[in-house]
Amino acid sequence: MRMFQLLRLAAQAEALRWKRTGRGYAIQAGLGAAAAIFFLLLMVMLHVAALIWLARGRDPAVAALIVAGVDLVLVALLGWLAARHAEDPVAVEATRVRDDALRQVGDTTARAAMVLPLLRSQSAKKGMIGAALTAAVIGLVARR
């Protein structure tokens, strides 16, 4: 019974991890799209205002180069912010719970595999050898 509870717990933890990870990506995409729209509108207004202001005392080409330099700095800053990715602590904990539950399932299965040949065997000697071989195989498989 405990093995099924552990498998159910591992499945629930995995589902929670996927749900939280997907939620995080959806929120990031929505915020990124909204930021991009407002950024474009802001840049248009700033370009117009900056060109009008800078063109008063300078050559219009120099004013355009100054605005382009400011754009380059803003693009670098926003690109750096978009590239950052923080892990969701709930998703990290769900991964840990899943891994622990699956490890415990492997341990429980190895113990059951070791005891079952003893119960089925007519001879204790044959049962011990079968149990040892089965436990070794299950232990090797569980660690991979």
Kindly indicate the confidence band of residue 125, based on its pLDDT and cuts at 50, 70 and 90.
low
CA pair distance 116, 84, nearest whole angstrom: 52
Contacts of 5 (CB under 8 A, 6+ apart): none
DSSP tally for the chain: helices H, then strands E = 4, 0
Select the highest-mean-pLDDT range: 17-26, 48-57, 61-70. Answer: 17-26
pTM, 2 dp = 0.36
Residue position matching structure tokens 């000697």: 125
Name the 3-class secondary structure at 144.
coil
CA pair distance 138, 4, nearest whole angstrom: 18
Give the pair of three-digit tokens for residue 116.
């079952």
Give the pair of three-digit tokens for residue 10.
């591992």
Count of positions (residues) in the chain: 144
> Which has the higher per-residue pLDDT, 102 or 139?
102
CA pair distance 104, 113, nearest whole angstrom: 14
Confidence at residue 32, expressed as pLDDT on a 0 to 100 scale: 92
Mean pLDDT of all residues belonging to the chain: 81
What is the separation, in whole angstroms, between the first and last Cα of the chain?
Answer: 24
CA pair distance 118, 1, nearest whole angstrom: 20
User: 142 exposed, middle or buried (CB, 10 Å; 0-12, 13-18, 19+)?
Assistant: middle
Kindly indicate the confidence band of residue 142, based on its pLDDT and cuts at 50, 70 and 90.
low
